[in-house]
Structure 1
Amino acid sequence: MIRTVIFDMDGVIIDTEPLHHQAFIAEFAELGIPVSAAEYATFLGKSTRNVFQLLKQKYHLPQDVEAMVMRKRELFNQAFDEDTTLDLLPGVRALIEDLRRHNLQLVVASSASKATISRVFDRFELDAYFTHRLSGEDFAESKPHPAIFLRAAELAETPVAECIVIEDAANGVTAAKAAGIYCIAYASPHSVGQDLHQADRIIRQFDELSAADIEAIEPG
């Protein structure tokens, strides 16, 4: 029986990806680097630090990685605070509430920074639902490396066989499967082009899931 549900955040709980995209593209322009849409798609699910580590090496950038990370965060925070239309994805709060009513433990394991996770949790009052929040900035390697999901299961004191992950990006799905965790992929309109074939199940609306459905999953 499933006891713990591990959520990605961006693209699963809330769609901040357009704001991240806006911030990244603005910084790429400032840096004068030609990042294509195809290359950008490979960044989804990775931490901002890992993205700039890759770009610094590829484009021989003189800027310090931490300085580039902080500039991107500044651009994102400005966009986040100015966007009055931002909301949780349709159906996700109802699913979260249903899971908690059934005493399933909820953990967030996101590639976003701790500051961004806090911004989302504070704005949408999510703290009461989740026992742990993990940020990709605390891990040396981003998804598709499984470290963040393995740590999430460890903190939840739940064997991986009794966890599931909900993800929307190929890197996240790969990380979940590498951790040995059953993965439900949310194929959102914003994850077009993401290869989700490794997922154990693919949904297109959150009303396709319920606590009863999740509890009945038998991984393996």
Structure 2
Amino acid sequence: MIKTVIFDMDGVIVDTEPVHHYAYNEHFKQLNIEITPEIYASFTGNSTKNIFEKLKAHFNLEQDVQILVETKRNLFNDAFDKKEDLYLLDGVEELIKELHQNGMQLVLASSSAKVTINRIFNRFDLHQYFTHIVSGEDFPKSKPHPAIFEHAAFLSETPRENCIVIEDSTNGILAAKAAGIYCIGYDSVNSKMQDYSKADEVISHFSELSFERIRMISI
């Protein structure tokens, strides 16, 4: 019986991808580097730090990785604060509330930095529903490495066979499966060039899930 649901954030709870895309591309212009759509899609599920470590090595960038991260984060924060049309993804708030009301433990495991997670959780008043928040910036390797989900399960004090992960990215799904956790792939209209073949099941709308349906998932 499932006792803990581990949520990814970007692309699952809120679609901040347009804001990230704007911030990254503004930064790429400043750095005078060209990133193809295919390379950009491969970033999904990676922390900003890991992305810039790869870009620094590939393009032989002079700037320190931390400076690159902070520059992109500032661009994101400025755009985030000005963007009024930012909403939770359709149906996810209702699912979160239903799961919480029925005693299901909710944990967030996002590749985003803590400051970004808090910005979003404060904007949408989500802290009250989650017992733990795990940020990818605390781990040397990003998804598809399983560390973030292993730690989320550890904090939940729930055996992994009693946890599930909801993820929208190829890297996130691979990380969940590498951690030995059942994974629901969320293939939304916002998902681009992601592979859901390794997920245990795939949904396209949160109305397909409920407390009773999740609780009775058989691993």
**Fold-level match, TM-score > 0.5?**
yes
SS at 2:33 equivalent = coil
Question: What residue is the counterpart of 2:74 in the other structure?
Answer: 74
CA contact (8 A) 2:6 2:106 kept: yes
CA distance, structure 1, for counterparts of residue 29 and residue 130 of structure 2: 37
RMSD: 0.5
Tell me whether 1:195 sits opposite 2:195 in the alignment. yes
Measured after TM superposition, the shift of residue 191 of structure 1 is 1.0
CA distance, structure 1, for counterparts of residue 144 and residue 34 of structure 2: 24
Tell me whether 1:159 sits opposite 2:159 in the alignment. yes
SS at 1:184 equivalent = strand
CA distance, structure 2, for counterparts of residue 12 and residue 204 of structure 1: 11
> What letter matches 1:112 in structure 2?
S
CA distance, structure 2, for counterparts of residue 192 and residue 69 of structure 1: 24
CA distance, structure 2, for counterparts of residue 199 and residue 102 of structure 1: 25
Tell me whether 1:179 sits opposite 2:157 in the alignment. no
Scaled by the length of structure 2, the TM-score of the pair is: 0.99
Scaled by the length of structure 1, the TM-score of the pair is: 0.99
SS at 1:121 equivalent = helix
CA distance, structure 1, for counterparts of residue 33 and residue 200 of structure 2: 37
Question: What residue is the counterpart of 2:125 in the other structure?
Answer: 125
Measured after TM superposition, the shift of residue 54 of structure 1 is 0.3
Question: What residue is the counterpart of 1:143 in the other structure?
Answer: 143
> What letter matches 2:194 in structure 1?
Q
Measured after TM superposition, the shift of residue 84 of structure 1 is 0.6
Where does 1:1-220 land on structure 2 (aligned, <5 Å)?
A: 1-219=1-219
Measured after TM superposition, the shift of residue 60 of structure 1 is 0.5
CA distance, structure 2, for counterparts of residue 46 and residue 210 of structure 1: 28
CA distance, structure 2, for counterparts of residue 192 and residue 34 of structure 1: 19
CA contact (8 A) 2:177 2:183 kept: yes
SS at 1:144 equivalent = coil
> What letter matches 1:134 in structure 2?
V
SS at 2:90 equivalent = coil
Point out 4+ residue stretches in structure 1 off by more than 2 angstroms: none
Measured after TM superposition, the shift of residue 192 of structure 1 is 2.3
CA distance, structure 1, for counterparts of residue 195 and residue 139 of structure 2: 24
Measured after TM superposition, the shift of residue 139 of structure 1 is 0.4
Residues 71-113 of structure 1 show CA distances to partners (whole Å, capped at 9, x for unaligned) of 0000000111001110100100100011012111000000000
CA distance, structure 2, for counterparts of residue 121 and residue 179 of structure 1: 26
CA distance, structure 2, for counterparts of residue 21 and residue 213 of structure 1: 34
> What letter matches 2:198 in structure 1?
Q
Residues 159-191 of structure 1 show CA distances to partners (whole Å, capped at 9, x for unaligned) of 111000000000000000000000001101121
> What letter matches 2:211 in structure 1?
A
CA distance, structure 1, for counterparts of residue 198 and residue 80 of structure 2: 32
